[in-house]
């Protein structure tokens, strides 16, 4: 990778690895609740593959091979080293493909279910120094480990389905509600993978710089991390009821939380001691994922939402604190609804055994 601001003479450092780490170690409670539920569903992988048929992964990969640059030992070798490092740190067990595509808009995303593929734009690559880019690569590796392609598949399928139902307001309204729930789930998945990025990078300053650059460009000398976090707090609590409604409405169709809010949420995760616990070797293992309880994860999600709502100074949310329980249930409602239909003892044929315990 070409030398950039902050990367000159940066020595390679040994990063801690997390053998057998479960993605539950870094997932936001609402994200984790839904994933735990979905992983328990008999036949859900089959259902998911049927949905994935709406996306031609081979066509996407051919397009990337034809019009992008495949990262490897001879092309973008430093990115290849970063990806290998991220795979080793998170103990993913296989190497996803990575491509760089020409696009001035800074962006990165992970696609593919059978063959996870990370795509970085040149705008992002040129914006970040080496350690900042390591945070980005770690973020995308987090999507791979969590299996977040489920979100993109579901959203793609439901969005197309909602378009076909546009002539039928009641049907479309119901689908739109589910899409909005998935978008809330998706936003929490992004917070999850910021945490994964930090576990890979293992330097909060670099993670903060990366997020600040996404918001304000390369002019780090003109920005201040403390002020950046303070503006996030101002956004959370400032203004009157009208501003509160505007914030909710503006967030509805976004797949990502606002950048300053992402920075604030990442620092809160560190301040809560969760990052230090993982670094100290205390984290859930992948081998224990089948025993994870949907109910317990839902309680954790509700608890965190409730705590956030109790701390907020937003004038609207202070009046509707009961909304916390409603939002907290997004992941569990999605997961448990499908769990009841497709869970143990129930299959595509619609068996009617009693609901199993989580």
7-16, 294-303, 348-357: which has the minimum mean pLDDT? 348-357
Query: Rounded distance, CA 106 to CA 133, Å?
Result: 11
Q: Per-residue pLDDT tens for 145-198?
A: 988 766 666 666 666 665 555 555 544 555 566 666 667 777 888 999 999 999
- Of 248, 209, 244, 252, nearest to 228 (Cα)? 209
Would you call 128 exposed, middle or buried from its count of C-beta atoms within 10 A (0-12, 13-18, 19+)?
Answer: buried
Residue 335: give the domain boundaries: 23-342
Q: Number of helices and strands (H, E) in the chain?
A: 15, 4
pLDDT digits (tens, 9 = 90+) for 100-150: 999 999 999 888 777 889 999 999 999 999 999 999 999 999 999 988 766
The total of structural domains in the chain comes to 1
Q: Is 246 or 53 the better-scoring residue by pLDDT?
A: 246
Residue whose structure tokens are 């801690």: 16
Long-range own/partner contacts, residues 51-54 (CB < 8 A, 24 or more apart) = 51/153, 51/154, 51/157, 52/113, 52/114, 52/149, 52/153, 54/153, 54/156, 54/157, 54/160
For position 336, what pLDDT does the model report? Answer: 47
Strand order in the sheet with 97-101: 69-70, 97-101, 117-121, 108-111
Please tell me which residue, 302 or 112, carries the higher pLDDT value.
112
> Does some domain include residue 357?
no
Reported pTM: 0.74
177 in a structural domain: yes
> Looking at the chain, which runs of residues are DSSP E strands?
69-70, 97-101, 108-111, 117-121
Q: How confident is the model at residue 21 (pLDDT cuts 50, 70, 90)?
A: very high
CA atoms of 71 and 84, how far apart (whole Å)? 11
Q: Report the range of poorest mean pLDDT among 59-63, 84-88, 115-119, 291-295.
A: 291-295
Residue in the block written with tokens 């101002």: 234
Is the distance from CB of 176 to CB of 162 less than 8 angstroms? yes
Q: For the chain, how far is it from start to end, CA to CA, in angstroms?
A: 47
Backbone angles phi, psi at 327, to 5 degrees: -70, -40
Average pLDDT of span 276-282: 97
- pLDDT interval class at 222 (50, 70, 90): very high
**Assigned domain for 1 exists:** no
pLDDT band at 203 (very low <50, low <70, confident <90, very high): very high
DSSP letters for 265-279: HHHHHHHTTHHHHHH
> Is residue 301 in some structural domain?
yes
């Amino acid at each position: 990778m070409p030398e950039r601001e902050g990367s000159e003479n940066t020595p390679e450092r040994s990063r801690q690895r997390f053998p057998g780490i479960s993605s539950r170690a870094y997932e936001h409670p609402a994200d984790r609740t839904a994933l735990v539920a979905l992983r328990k569903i008999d036949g859900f992988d089959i259902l998911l593959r049927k949905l994935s048929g709406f996306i031609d992964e081979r066509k996407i990969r051919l397009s990337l091979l034809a019009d992008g640059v495949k990262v490897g030992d001879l092309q973008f070798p430093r990115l290849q080293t970063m990806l290998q490092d991220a795979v080793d740190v998170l103990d993913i067990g296989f190497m996803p493909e990575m491509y760089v595509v020409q696009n001035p808009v800074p962006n990165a995303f992970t696609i593919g279910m059978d063959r996870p593929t990370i795509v970085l734009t040149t705008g992002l690559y040129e914006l970040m120094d080496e350690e900042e880019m390591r945070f980005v690569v770690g973020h995308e590796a987090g999507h791979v480990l969590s299996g977040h392609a489920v979100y993109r598949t579901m959203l793609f399928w439901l969005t197309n389905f909602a378009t076909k139902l546009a002539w039928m307001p009641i049907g479309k309204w119901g689908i739109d509600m589910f899409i909005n729930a998935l978008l809330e789930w998706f936003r929490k998945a992004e917070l999850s993978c910021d945490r994964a990025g930090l576990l890979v990078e293992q330097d909060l300053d670099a993670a903060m710089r990366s997020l600040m650059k996404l918001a304000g460009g390369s002019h780090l000398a003109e920005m201040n991390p403390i002020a950046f976090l303070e503006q996030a707090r101002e956004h959370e609590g400032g203004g009157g009821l009208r501003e509160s409604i505007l914030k909710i409405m503006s967030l509805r169709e976004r797949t990502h939380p606002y950048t300053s809010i992402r920075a604030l949420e990442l620092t809160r995760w560190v301040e809560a001691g969760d990052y230090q616990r993982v670094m100290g070797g205390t984290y859930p293992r992948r081998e224990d994922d089948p025993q994870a309880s949907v109910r317990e994860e839902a309680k954790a999600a509700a608890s965190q939402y409730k705590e956030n709502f109790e701390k907020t100074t937003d004038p609207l949310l202070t009046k509707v604190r009961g909304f916390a329980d409603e939002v907290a249930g997004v992941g569990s409602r999605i997961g448990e609804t499908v769990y009841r239909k497709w869970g143990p003892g129930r299959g595509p044929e619609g068996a009617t055994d009693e609901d199993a315990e989580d």
